[in-house]
Structure 1
């Protein structure tokens, strides 16, 4: 590799992988295949730095399964379940629908739609359900253990009801 091409990995502080270096070489009018870039990088022991896309710093607190697969109820607003549905559209990409379902009536009592999956969006669905149904204390809310439902903000939310 000529000197100017060899500087690309060091300029990037080891962050670039073979595809990015290949792109930069093509942009700089050096005709080289991706496979050749990969072979040369391997030969001179140049590796890119990779990081996990979602590195969670805090461990998730284990919570017990309070519903224990017992879905029968005797009255409205005794047990609710919440979940998120992924909806893909050609025009706007991914959208997310958070729903809260009453197990007695089998009806959705609260929902929220968002283009980003955040705890706030899930809380909006729960707030919607609480404002419409006005449940009594003792309501059981069961969710999966997804990141939106295990965040500290969500853990405090049911105490408002």
Structure 2
């Protein structure tokens, strides 16, 4: 009997699943015909390679790649304007979201 190799995509991270559940996010991982999370990740990695990795070749050290990755990630989240969310950076959009959806906590007067 010929067995097909198990593809790595069949495995999901329990930690990721727990994080998504706590955040109230429905995971598309494992649902049939729903690969939006994979497409987003592949698109982001493609942008990173096109904007950072390929233009700055040859890399001389791992430290150079790590620094460039940190700088690009900071720019991507805090400076880049995203058209689908009102031409603001993703970090600003997320902060605004939590400001408008988070319930005020009760504090005790001591």
The structure richer in helix per residue is 2
Shorter-chain TM-score above 0.5: no
- Greater relative CO (CA pairs within 8 A, separation 6+): 1
The structure richer in strand per residue is 1
Higher-Rg member (1/2): 1
| Range into which the TM-score falls when normalised by the shorter chain | under 0.3
